[in-house]
Amino acid sequence: MKKYLAVFKINLLNSLAYPAELVTRSAMILLFMWVFFQLWHITFAAAGSDTINRLTLRDTMWYLLLAETLELGRPRLARVVSEQVKDGSIAYLLNKPYNFLLYQLSSGLGESLPRMGMLFILGGALVWVMAGPPPDLVNWPLALVALAGAWLLHFCVNSLIGLSAFTVEEVAPFEWIYQKLVFILGGMLIPLDFYPAWLQTIARSLPFAYMMYGPARLFVLPDMQLFIQILTGQLFWFAILGGLLLLVFSRGMKRLAINGG
């Protein structure tokens, strides 16, 4: 376990090597949150009500902030792994005595945490000014647990896409599709609560809702029943996606062709 902690640490150091870059890159969340605020401000005004399906404007904004933090702060593992395969640097990652997937996990976490932290702080400051204070502190623990679960699911899907580079050359299209599915069916652009019932049912039976909607919704409107539902869903999808990942990795190793001869 110590070695994975060390991998986490060096990635953390690496992402902090250029603090100015970290801040500048994270600052784009300000633009997104501003646009979201304008959009939902008008929508709520047009609806003529303080709440839409139990969510207030303030709830919606903090929901979107958490969703954006996760989306922009999660490691771009699909791209990272496929780059490693393409440029051959994976050779160095595979010839060390550790589990390759756990290595990617700890390295992704080290890269992701500072970014997510920065995104949340910057974006949160703006949302606070525009829409009001953050949800009550008692909401945070449940949301954090669900956030960790969501992050893990993202890790699995991303690694699966990245590992497909072992056999296909370009993974960008898969990544694009996955991202758009998270946008729509994960409730990243619009909270799932605002969807018609039939679409909500579809979304809830797919993994994407557990990768985005779950933690964001628990953050603004916590509810023990929802928490258990989300956690169970996450465990279920983690078992499936994680199992698939192990299978694809062990089979992929046999087919790996490394560029740069």
Partner 1 sequence: MLAIQVTGLTKTFHTKQKAAGLGASVHSLFRPEYKTVEAVRGLSFEMESGELLGFIGPNGAGKSTTIKILTGILFPSGGEATVLGYVPWKQRQKLAYHIGTVFGQRPQLWYHLPAIDTLTLFGKIYEMDDRETRHRIAELAEAFEITDLLETPVRKLSLGQRMRCEVAASLLHKPKLLLLDEPSIGLDVVAKQHIRDVLREMAKQENVGVLLTSHDAGDLEALCKRVIIINHGQIVYEDKVSTLKRSFLTSKLVEVRYAEQVPIDFQIEGTETLKVAKERYGAKLRFDTRTTPVEKVMVALSAAGTLMDITVSDPPLEEVIAAIYKQGASPFP
Closer to partner 1 by Cβ: residue 69 or 106: 106
Question: Minimum Å distance from CB 253 to partner 1?
Answer: 7
Closer of 5 and 35 to partner 1 (Cβ): 5
Binding residues (CB under 8 A) for partner 1: these are: 2-3, 5-7, 9-10, 13-14, 17-18, 87-92, 94-99, 169, 253-258, 260-261
Pick between residue 17 and residue 20 the one whose CB is nearest to partner 1.
17
Per-residue burial over 61-74, b = 16 or more CB atoms within 10 Å of its CB, e = otherwise: bbbbbbbbbbbbbb
Using the minimum distance from each CB to partner 1, give the nearer residue, 90 or 163.
Answer: 90
Q: Is the dihedral of CA 108, 109, 110, 116 positive or negative?
A: positive
CB of 76 to partner 1, least distance (A): 17
Rounded distance between C-alpha atoms, residue 213 and residue 217, angstroms: 6
Residue 94: which H helix or E strand, with range? helix 90-94
Shortest CB 246 distance to partner 1, Å:
15
Q: How far is the CB of 159 from partner 1 (least distance, A)?
A: 18
Between the CA of residue 245 and those of 70, 75, 234, what are the distances in Å?
21, 17, 15
- State in angstroms the smallest separation of the CB of 258 from partner 1: 6
In the bound state with partner 1, the residue whose beta carbon lies nearer, of 20 and 137, is 20
Can you tell me the distance from the alpha carbon of 183 to that of 209, in angstroms, rounded to the nearest whole number? 10
CB of 128 to partner 1, least distance (A): 33
Angle of CA points 19, 20, 26, to nearest 5°: 90
DSSP 8-state secondary structure symbol assigned to residue 134: P
Nearest-angstrom CA–CA distance, 1 and 4: 5
Is the separation of the CB atoms in 164 and 171 below 8 Å?
yes
User: Which lies closer to partner 1 via its Cβ, residue 54 or residue 255?
Assistant: 255
